[in-house]
């Protein structure tokens, strides 16, 4: 933890901004704790600084790990086969090499802790100032607690139990602090979210300029997910029902709108990373470039698998397939007239493992800011949306034996994409819900955590039956698949997942540098060197 805490400053650097948003001005310079938090405006700016750490100022701090998460599943390949894979390969192919798999987890780990420290400062210092409007004061504290919970949950679901550090602590004060248990870590997250729910406004209470701030619904939805991950089904149901009954959220009428720049902060979005195309701030999204075709100014990290495409086709899910996976040679790219029979879209099979790209993050040519390869693409990253809430609701009701309620929630999501309602019950309904989560939320960073937490009929986490020497995904790619693009490109081996070890790979490794800097108080996850 020493390394983390040495590198942090108070309300310094960039703020997260968007056009006509609450985050309009960058916070510049390093603040003196003795003189700061003397006004309401300074308190507000500290909270804005907390938002800035959600995605930071470029792709490599947070988005790199978000991309890795999907690469570790049956939904994505590492993808790029023209460059040295760096830390993506050992992690996504489950080699267990913590040295080669370094900075994708290290950067994420450190920047999440930096964000938590900013939240800690806000939570500690804002209560010391008298506000003219006490509700506003409480709201700022609630926002900081929501953000701390979000970032801490991000760490816990990736690495397991984390040290619980509150307030502004110097490196000497953190010596000897050990990782809390998983139960203690979740309890910490739960309390922050409960505190946030008590004081945060509902979505409709915010002015347009404040869209993107944490809301009561966002906190309830996230708490529902936190409970679901622990199989606390009754508690999850309470929170998810509160979101659904609030009337604040609804599904967009057309799936094509879900990841459109024109629908940032829509009524389907509970929480999104805010972006801006102004290069002065550097807080726009660049993940679209990272995942885009190398033949179209992209870097091609994270290519959808034929296994994922087969799942769509087997389900008759043409609509979501169209807006999830982009193919080599495609002549009709939704929303972009640039590509046609005379000028097809190119994702060269020799450069890309599957000759496929992420359509959800695709930006039409005429909508791309200049220069394109910069952190200023104004597409908000959807972190938690209403479709996810409905599918969590379906899962919870099925687990509680309330199959009629589960069907109702599930079929709302299916109806949007013209799929027949599901009428099955019990285990068959459970499997239908799991499949629906894969299709609806594909390439959105949920699949790995779902596979890790779901238990299959043999009692093992679902990922243990997908990866490994006898895993369904490994078997599909090495024995069953006839996909010419994947078979022809072995610069990324088709046996991804073969080395999966269920005693090790249900968590990512703690960065070795953090263990060293802790002087041994932080212990590595089982199975890693």
Residues 270 and 218: beta-carbon distance below 8 Å: yes
What pLDDT score does 6 carry? 26
Answer left, alpha or beta for residue 377, where phi above 0 means left and psi between -120 and 50 means alpha. beta
Q: State the pLDDT at residue 27.
A: 46
Is the model's pLDDT at 141 over the cut of 50?
yes
What pLDDT score was predicted for residue 495?
97
The rounded mean pLDDT for the chain is 92
Cβ neighbors of 376 (< 8 A, separation 6 or more) are: 275, 276, 277, 278, 279, 281, 282, 283, 284, 286, 369
> Residue 353 has what pLDDT?
97
CA–CA distance, 31 with 39 (Å, rounded to integer): 13
| Whether 14 contacts 58, CB under 8 Å | no
Closest by Cα among 245, 229, 278 to 23? 278
Residue in 289, 288, 244 with CA at minimum distance from that of residue 267: 244
Q: Above 60 in pLDDT, residue 11?
A: no
Residue 405 burial (C-beta neighbours within 10 Å; 0-12, 13-18, 19+): middle
pLDDT value at position 12?
33
417, 321 Cβ separation under 8 angstroms:
no
Question: How many degrees, rounded to 5, is the angle at CA 442 between CA 436 and CA 444?
Answer: 125
C-alpha 431/C-alpha 456 separation (Å) is 10
Instruction: List the single range of 38-52, 97-111, 463-477 with lowest mean pLDDT.
Output: 97-111
Task: Express as a percent the part of the chain with pLDDT over 90.
Answer: 83
pLDDT digits (tens, 9 = 90+) for 290-337: 999 999 999 999 999 999 999 999 999 999 999 999 999 999 999 999
Is the dihedral angle over the CA atoms 305, 310, 316, 322 positive or is it negative? Answer: positive
Which structure tokens are listed for 29? Answer: 């310079």
Report pLDDT for 278. Answer: 77
User: What is the Cα–Cα distance from 165 to 486, expressed in whole angstroms?
Assistant: 46
Give dist(CA 274, CA 114) in Å, integer.
19
d(CA 355, CA 305): 9
Full DSSP string of 395-421: HHHHHTT-HHHHHHHHHHHHHHTTPPP
pLDDT at 9: 30
Instruction: Measure the CA–CA gap between 192 and 214, rounded to whole angstroms.
Output: 13
Q: Name which residue leads in pLDDT, 36 or 422.
A: 422
Which tokens sit at 326?
A: 């982009």
The pair of three-digit structure tokens given for residue 207, joined into one six-digit string = 């002015």
- Is pLDDT above 90 for 116? yes
Cβ distance 334 to 322 under 8 Å? yes
Can you spell out the DSSP letters for 164-212? Answer: ---S---HHHHTTPPPPPHHHHHHHHHHHHHHHHHHPPPGGGS-GGGTT
What's the pLDDT score for residue 406?
A: 98
Q: What is the pLDDT of residues 54-101, one digit of tens each?
A: 998 788 899 999 999 999 999 999 999 999 888 899 999 999 888 877
Give the pLDDT confidence score for residue 85 in this predicted structure: 87
Provide φ and ψ at 106, rounded to 5°.
Answer: -65, -50
Report whether pLDDT(4) > 60.
no
* Span 232-287, pLDDT tens digits: 999 999 999 999 999 999 999 999 999 999 999 999 999 999 998 876 666 789 99
- Compare 14 and 408 and report the one with higher pLDDT: 408
Report which of residues 104 and 110 the model is more confident about: 110
Q: Residue 413 in contact with residue 251, Cβ under 8 Å?
A: yes
Ramachandran quadrant class, 60 (left: phi over 0; alpha: psi -120 to 50; beta: rest): alpha
pLDDT at 429 over 90: yes
- Higher-pLDDT residue of 518 and 182 is 182
- CB contact at 8 A, 46 and 13: no
* Percent of the chain residues topping a pLDDT of 70: 92
- Statement: residue 20 has pLDDT above 80: no
Helices 403-416 and 386-399 cross at an angle (nearest 10°) of: 150
Query: What is the predicted pLDDT for the residue at 31?
Result: 47
Cβ-proximal residues to 294 (8 Å cutoff; 6+ apart), any chain? 80, 82, 300, 347, 348, 351, 352
Residue 457 reports pLDDT greater than 70: yes
Per-residue model confidence (pLDDT) at position 201: 98
CB 271 within 8 A of CB 277: no
- Of 181, 218, 174, nearest in space to 197 by CA: 218
Q: Is 80 helix (H, G, I), strand (E, B) or coil?
A: strand
Residues contacting residue 470 through CB under 8 Å, at least 6 positions apart? none
Do 55 and 62 touch, CB atoms closer than 8 A?
Answer: yes
A 10 A CB-CB count for 17 gives: 24
Sign of the torsion formed by the C-alpha atoms of 440, 441, 447 and 452: negative
Provide the token pair at 402.
């309330």
CA dist., res. 4 & res. 221, Å (int): 29
Tokens standing for residue 416 = 């949007």
Instruction: Give the angle 218-221-224 at the CA atoms, nearest 5°.
Output: 150
Q: Which of 89-93, 165-169, 366-370, 377-381 has the lowest mean pLDDT?
A: 165-169
Question: Is the distance from CB of 172 to CB of 517 less than 8 angstroms?
Answer: no
């Amino acid at each position: 933890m020493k390394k983390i805490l040495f590198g942090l400053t108070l309300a310094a650097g960039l703020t997260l901004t968007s056009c006509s948003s609450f985050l309009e001005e960058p916070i510049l310079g390093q603040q003196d704790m003795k003189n700061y938090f003397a006004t309401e405006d300074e308190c507000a700016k500290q909270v804005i600084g907390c938002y800035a750490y959600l995605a930071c100022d470029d792709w490599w701090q947070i988005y790199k790990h978000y991309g890795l998460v999907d690469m570790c599943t049956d939904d994505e390949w590492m993808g790029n086969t023209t460059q040295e894979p760096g830390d993506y390969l050992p992690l996504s192919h489950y080699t267990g090499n913590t040295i080669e798999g370094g900075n994708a987890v290290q950067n994420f780990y450190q920047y999440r802790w930096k964000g938590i420290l900013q939240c800690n400062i806000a939570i500690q210092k804002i209560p010391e100032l008298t506000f003219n409007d006490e509700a506003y004061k409480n709201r700022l504290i609630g926002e900081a607690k929501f953000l701390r919970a979000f970032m801490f949950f991000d760490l816990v679901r990736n690495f397991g139990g984390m040290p619980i550090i509150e307030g502004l602590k110097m490196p000497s004060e953190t010596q000897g602090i050990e990782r809390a248990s998983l139960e203690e870590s979740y309890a910490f997250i739960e309390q922050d979210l409960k505190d946030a729910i008590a004081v945060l406004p509902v979505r409709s209470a915010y002015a347009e300029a404040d869209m993107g701030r944490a809301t009561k619904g966002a906190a309830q939805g996230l708490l529902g997910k936190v409970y679901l991950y622990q199989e606390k089904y009754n508690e999850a149901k309470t929170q998810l029902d509160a979101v659904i009954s609030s009337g604040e959220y609804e599904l967009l009428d057309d799936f094509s709108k879900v990841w459109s720049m024109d629908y940032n902060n829509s009524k389907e979005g509970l929480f999104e990373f805010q972006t801006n195309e102004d290069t002065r701030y550097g807080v726009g999204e660049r993940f679209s470039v990272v995942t885009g075709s190398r033949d179209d100014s992209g870097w091609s990290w994270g290519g959808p698998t034929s296994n994922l495409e087969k799942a769509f086709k087997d389900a008759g899910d043409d609509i979501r397939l169209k807006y999830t996976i982009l193919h080599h040679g495609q002549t009709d790219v939704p929303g972009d007239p640039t590509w046609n029979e005379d000028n097809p879209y190119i994702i060269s099979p020799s450069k890309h493992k599957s000759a496929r790209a992420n359509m959800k993050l695709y930006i039409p040519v005429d909508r791309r800011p200049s220069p394109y390869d910069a952190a200023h693409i104004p597409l908000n990253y959807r972190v938690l949306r209403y479709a996810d809430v409905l599918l969590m609701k379906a899962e919870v009701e099925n687990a509680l034996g309330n199959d009629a309620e589960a069907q109702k929630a599930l079929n709302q999501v299916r109806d949007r994409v013209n799929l027949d309602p599901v009428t099955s019950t019990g285990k068959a309904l459970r499997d239908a819900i799991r499949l629906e989560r894969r299709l609806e939320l594909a390439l959105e960073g949920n699949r790995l955590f779902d596979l890790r937490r779901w238990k299959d009929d043999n009692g093992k986490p679902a990922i243990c039956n997908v990866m490994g020497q006898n895993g369904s995904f490994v078997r599909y790619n090495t024995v069953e698949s006839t996909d010419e693009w994947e078979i022809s490109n072995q610069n990324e081996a088709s046996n991804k997942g073969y080395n999966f070890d269920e005693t090790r790979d249900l968590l990512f490794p703690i960065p070795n540098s953090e263990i060293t800097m802790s002087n041994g108080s932080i212990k590595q996850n089982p199975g890693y060197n």
